[in-house]
Amino acid sequence: LISARYAGYSFGQYIVLFGYAALITVAMFLFGNPVTNIKRAGFVCISQIPVVFALGTKNSLVGSLVGMGYEKLNYIHRWVGQLMFITGLFHVVGYLVKWTKSGVLPLAAKNQFWGWMAFGGLVFCAILSLPAIRRSSYTIFWHSHWIGLVIMLFAACLHVPECIPYCVAAGAIYGLDQLTRIVKSHWVTATITPVPEMKCTQISIPNLTRGWRAGQHVRVRILSAGMGPLGWAEAHPFTIASVSNSSGQGDGLTLLAKRAGDWTGKLYTLSQGTPSSEKGLGVGRNVSMIIEGPYGGPGPCIFAAFTASVIVTGGSGVTFATSAVEELIAQAEEGNAKTRSIDLVWVVQEHKNAAPLVPVFAALLARASTVHTLSLKVQIHYTRASSTAPPNVAQLVGSDLISFVAGRPDITQVVSEVVRRTAVGGTAGGVVVGVCGPLPLVEDVYKAERAVGGEMRKAAGGVEVHEEAFGW
């Protein structure tokens, strides 16, 4: 029941959201008359300033305490921000009604300049943080966020002195976060290469070879004039596609940045070799960048502790799959994994989108075949009709464990089959389903998990879902 999802949130998340809303409601109305004590709403509003900062920073103490990355707490951050707007609106409207009844509205409103500025900053943040704006133009959202917050904090301190401790606390939380981000950052030279088939840019950093887990992501800041005058100020998250090597060997850190907006579009153009101050070497192009992280990841969910793994990805979410599978194979080679089977399902629009990664899958299949206790199967689903047939990838790779399949995958059938296989096998070590991709794909995975019957679930040792998805 806790994993059941409605409108993008799980039942457990709804409990958290409504529980916090109930707490704010109690603070607003318990032992007080909201009509006569209008200040209370204002104090409740400013009391949430440190909370919204603690939940919004990348190195949150809250996240450390509960064992979650900032991206897993972001939905609470947004909710607290919305409650701040509601309580602030209640405070403002309450005084407007009071002044109107007293006949002093023009004079009283004129004397509250800093109060209006603080509320204006809050409204500015609220409007430009709407999901439609946040998803369609992240740059506008990001810049409006910090501008609105600075205005609100500065004006609130001048509005009433009681705001100062809360704003100082928020500043301390933000300062600690920035210091931690500096410590976790690396100034590197990376090679960026366009991947036209996948409409993305590959970022390769051979000098960074260790320090992360499969499924974690880093935030990338490009230091290039080709990214625009303020391009250096933006940091964007990308899931790591390669595996950390404790010995310092390996190919280094690899990322895939899908061309999905202004920033990633400029990065793709830059990788194609448009004129700039950098000089590329070979096929790729060298640029300076700051890599910050790693962040997120599976947390307490250890894939190697399960008998079977199902990894479902869509589009550029395949970076999660390649790193997770490679890490599982490496752990199996060392005898540190209970995993006996891995089923990888990748959904793309056209079969040609998958072409650049076929050699990667071939290498993973070849490596997995050397571990006699482990089996790996790869299915690539393409959802858009094409004038050309997909290549006989099994013949190219030399293995029938990889195939192209037309149409969307039946995730419920895939998960049910793996659970049945695990239950019949008698190992009962559990099944983990990892998913990274668009929200509809994530929803399909949760539906598939809930569709597993109780007896079969018990016989298999349980079914657990791990989601790697950004909800900006």
Give the chain's mean pLDDT. 89
Whether residue 209 is found in the same domain as residue 145: no
Measured distance CA(470)–CA(464) in Å, rounded:
19
pLDDT in tens, 309-359: 999 999 888 999 999 999 999 999 999 999 999 999 999 998 888 888 988
Q: Give me the residue label for tokens 């790697």.
A: 468
Local confidence band at 2 (pLDDT 50, 70, 90 cut-offs): low
Whether residue 119 is found in the same domain as residue 200: no
Whether residue 247 is found in the same domain as residue 368: no
Whether residue 130 is found in the same domain as residue 236: no
Q: Is residue 472 part of a domain?
A: no
Whether residue 50 is found in the same domain as residue 139: yes
- The residue type found at 322 is T
Whether residue 208 is found in the same domain as residue 308: no
Measured distance CA(212)–CA(218) in Å, rounded:
9
Measured distance CA(275)–CA(278) in Å, rounded:
8
Task: Read off the CATH number of the domain in which 207 is found.
Answer: 2.40.30.10
pLDDT at 139: 80
pLDDT in tens, 351-378: 888 888 988 999 999 999 999 999 999 9
Domain end call among 279, 296, 313 = 296
275 has pLDDT over 50:
no
Whether residue 396 is found in the same domain as residue 289: no
pLDDT in tens, 369-411: 999 999 999 999 999 877 677 777 767 666 788 998 999 999 9
Whether residue 133 is found in the same domain as residue 209: no
Contacts of 182 (CB under 8 A, 6+ apart): none
Domain that holds residue 189: 184-296
> What φ, ψ does residue 238 adopt, rounded to 5°?
-140, 135
Q: From the centroid of its chain, how far is CA 178? A: 19
Whether residue 20 is found in the same domain as residue 169: yes
> How many Cβ atoms from other residues are within 10 Å of residue 389's Cβ?
9
pLDDT in tens, 65-122: 888 889 889 999 999 999 999 999 999 999 999 889 888 888 888 889 999 999 999 9
Local confidence band at 277 (pLDDT 50, 70, 90 cut-offs): very low
472 has pLDDT over 80:
no
pLDDT at 280: 40
Q: Is residue 62 part of a domain?
A: yes
Can you say whether the dihedral through the CA atoms of 236, 237, 238, 240 is positive or negative?
positive
pLDDT at 9: 81
Whether residue 331 is found in the same domain as residue 356: yes
